[in-house]
Amino acid sequence: MIGKGNQLVRRIRILRRDRTERVRQGVFLAEGIHLCQEALASGVELEQVVYSDRLSTTDEGAALLAALQRSGAVLDETSATILDSMQDVRSPQPVLSLVRMGAAAFDDLLNPERETALLVVAHDIQDPGNLGTIIRTADAAGATGLIATGSGVDLHHPRTVRSTMGSLFRLPTLHCPDILDVILRLEQERFWKVAAETGTGPRPEEVDWSRKTALFLGPERGGIPDEARSRMDSSLTIPMATGVDSLSVGAAAAVILFAARRVRNPAE
């Protein structure tokens, strides 16, 4: 039973608040039963799992604890009070996992042999909840990967991880600060580059999604930078009612990506 002064407790508190430490250690936090279940099912590496006795008070939690014991994961029990103090959610969870960051490389996402690849390039989406929602949506819509660009983006912020609901464990993701570097690589691999913009342009369902495509999404006000916009092959616009000039980037991602899915999978 670990106590409040334990080194692991201090480490988790640092990982929760410090992006630099998450990157340096190659570890991020996943809070709750569902994320732990998803991590196990996805085969990601669980470095350590901390839980309280509340975990075994439900059938679902007891089943998870048994599965963790069978998996060989390193398990540490603590009190509910100490575990709650390690988290930043209003409803603290009975289990918290330390997950090793995957080693996805640019080439893994580009996957030039897949002529139907669909990448999402999410630029400067600094709100963790929005970024997590986009990752979850991209996974659900059948995208093949996501590249986050911009200096302030954090794929492994605790709120980003929670918002993905486990999609972060399945969808290949990568952070590349410079959007122009990403564009250059996409051009080398002959990706069709499409930017979501306000104003005029084809609707999402009018775009040819059958080829290797990269969808660029930017912040709600401003979109992607002008230098990047000038390198796009096409743009698209979501038609909206009079007086409405924008959607949240998460909502826009859902509209566009599921339109792309319908085009790419007409038999569904």
Domains of the chain (ranges plus CATH)? 7-100 (3.30.1330.30), 106-264 (3.40.1280.10)
Residue type at position 217: L
- In this predicted structure, what is the pLDDT of residue 9? 93
- In this predicted structure, what is the pLDDT of residue 112? 54
The Cα–Cα gap between 100 and 241 comes to: 45
Convert the pLDDT of each residue in 182-227 to its tens digit: 999 999 999 999 999 887 789 999 999 999 999 999 987 778 999 9
Convert the pLDDT of each residue in 28-45 to its tens digit: 999 999 999 999 999 999
Structure tokens at 50: 């901390």
Q: Torsion angle of alpha carbons 27, 30, 33, 36, nearest 10°?
A: -40
- In this predicted structure, what is the pLDDT of residue 115? 72
CB 168 within 8 A of CB 145: no
In 10 A of CB 22, how many CB atoms?
A: 21
What does 190-253 look like in DSSP terms, one character per residue?
T-EEEEE-SSSS--GGGS--SS-EEEEE--TTT-S-HHHHTT-SEEE-----TT-----HHHHH
How many angstroms separate the first and last alpha carbons of the chain?
A: 51
Query: Half-sphere exposure of residue 93, counting CA atoms within 13 Å on the CB side?
Result: 19
Structure tokens at 58: 């439900």
Q: Which residues of the chain have pLDDT under 50?
A: none
Q: Torsion angle of alpha carbons 226, 231, 232, 233, nearest 10°?
A: 150
The Cα–Cα gap between 32 and 29 comes to: 10
- In this predicted structure, what is the pLDDT of residue 75? 97
Structure tokens at 32: 């709750």
- In this predicted structure, what is the pLDDT of residue 113? 59
